A and B are shown apart, each in its own frame.
Chain A
Amino acid sequence: MSEVQSIPRGPSDARKRVLVVDDGITMRLYYRSVLEAAGFVVEEAANGVEGYEKVLAHPFDLMIVDINMPKMDGYSMLRLIRGDAAVQAIPAVTISTEAGDRDVAKAFEAGANFYLVKPVAPEELTEVARLIAGVTKL
C-alpha cells in the first residue's frame, strides 16, 4: 500500500466516505485500516439495521457490506436502501465467505455493484473501493 494515490484533501475535503458493515470487529478494523490508508473516510456499522441507520444519518459514497450478520443481513439491508429514494444510489460492494454462483446472483439482485469473497487482500479491496466509489475510472 505504498503507492497510495494522492486524493484531494483539505478544507474542501473531497475524500470519499465509506460505510463498512460487518458484524466482526476485527473485520471492521481491517477494512478501516486498509481504506483509511487509501484515503477514504471510514464509518462502521455492526449489522444491517445499524448500517441503514447510518446511511439515513450521513452521506456515503460507498458501502462495504457483509452478508451474514445478526438482526439484519446484507441482502436485506441493500434491498431496504435500494427501495429508499433518499439513499438508493449509494454504490455497494458485498463481501462474503459464500462464493457460489447463487450467492453472487443474490447479491446483485439485492443491489450490489460488486462482489468480493473473503478474505480480501488489501490491494484488491483498495482497487475495487476506488473503482466503485468513482475515485478511479475503468
Chain B
Amino acid sequence: MPLIEGVNYMKNVTSFFFSKILYKEVHNISGQIIGKLNDLILDFNQDKPTVIYIQIINGRKSFYISAEALTILKDKKDRYYIEINSESISIKQPSERDIFLAKDFLDKQIVDINDKKVERVNDVRLGSIYGKWQLVAVDIGTRGLLRRLGIEYPFIMITGALKYQLRNKLIIWDNVQPLSNGIDNLKLHFPANKIETLHAADIADIIEDLDNKNRDTLFNSLNNQKAAEVLEEIETDVQVHLLKSMSDKKASDILEIMPSDQVADIFEEIEEDRAQILLSQMNAESQGEIRELMEYEKETIGSIMSKDFITFLPDLTVKDALTWIQMNISEEEESYYVYVINDKNNLLGVIPLFLLITSNNDTKLYNIITAQPKSIRDSDTTEDALKILGKYNLVSLPVLDENNSLIGIVSLNDIIHEHSLFKRVVL
C-alpha cells in the first residue's frame, strides 16, 4: 500500500463524490503516475448506473481501462489516491454510444421525481456495491458546488462558526430521472421510465420547464395514453412546439386519445395545412366532432364544450341505463349527470348519477328526470356559463344549439382552464 508523506496511512474508500477524483492523478500498482482521470463511462441500463470504464488522459493520449481495476484510497486529511491495481489492463475503443459521467451527466439537468422539479447535477455520489462502482445519488446542493470549486472545507468552517450547518442535498438514484442533453437523441438515450409514475399535470409542469431538446425527448418517451394526458395539461405554445417536432402518425395517434374540444383548441393554433393532415389521419367520429368544434368563435361555449356525455331515451329503465354504463363507460370518464333526450335529440331532462344509482331498478327514466334543467347555448360566452354555474351551484351544464338539440356539455373545470389561460395572455 502506497504512502503519502511518510506516516499517513490510507484506507480503502467504498463511497465517494465524483469531484474528489475527477482530473486527479492515476497511479499504477507500483505508484507511478500513468495519467489523469478524465471521465468515467457508465452503463445506464442497469438498475443503478454502473461504471464500466475509466478514461485516463496522459498528455494528448487518451485510453480506457476497465473499471474493475479501480481502487480509491484516502488518507486522514481527506486526500484521495487513485490506483489501477491490475497487471493486465483491458483497453477499449471509445464508441459513439458511450455515456460519460462528466461530459454527459455532470452539470446537466435531471428531474427530481420526489420534488417534481428540474434540477442541475452539481456532483455525483458513487459507491461500491458487490465489487462494482455504481451511481448511488446525485448532489444538487450548494455544498456540491463549493466542493467542485475546491472550497468546501473553508466554507464549512465559516458557516460552522455562524452556527449554520451546510448540508449535502442528495437525491437517491431511484428518484432521479436523467434527461438526454445531446443533439442527437439516439446518441444519448436514457430510459424515461421513472417519470411515467408521476401525475400528468406534474409531468406537464416539468416539460414546460425544459428546453426544446429535452422536452421533445422526454415527451416522445411517454406511451401514447400518458402522452395524451400530459399534452392536455401543457400550455398552448409548448403544445404547438411539441406537435411541430412530432411525426404526423405519432401526433394523430396521441390527439385521437384526447378530448375533441382540447384537440380543436390546439388545431386553432397550428398551421392549417398541418391541422388538416393530422385531422385526416384520425378516425371518422373524432374528425366530425373536431371539425364541428373548430367552427366556433373563440371564447364561446361551443369552442370549449366537451363532446363526451351520456344520453338515454326516456322510456328506458334505471336497470337498462346502469347496465349500459357498466358495459360502455371507462373509468376515466368524468361525468356527474346522464342526459335524457327524445328521438330528435332535444333535451328532456337530466338525472344526477347518484340518483340513478339509488333509484329502483324498474323505474322508467322519465319518472326521475329533473325536467327543464339549466342549460346554455353554444354561442354564449364562458362568462355566461360561469354566472349560471355559480348561481345554481352546478358543476356542469348541457349545451344546446339553436334547434334545442343537445350537442355537448361544459364543465366548471373547462371554464377554469379557459380563464386561467386567458389571464396568462393578458399578463
Same assembly: no
Residues of B within 8 A of A (CB): none
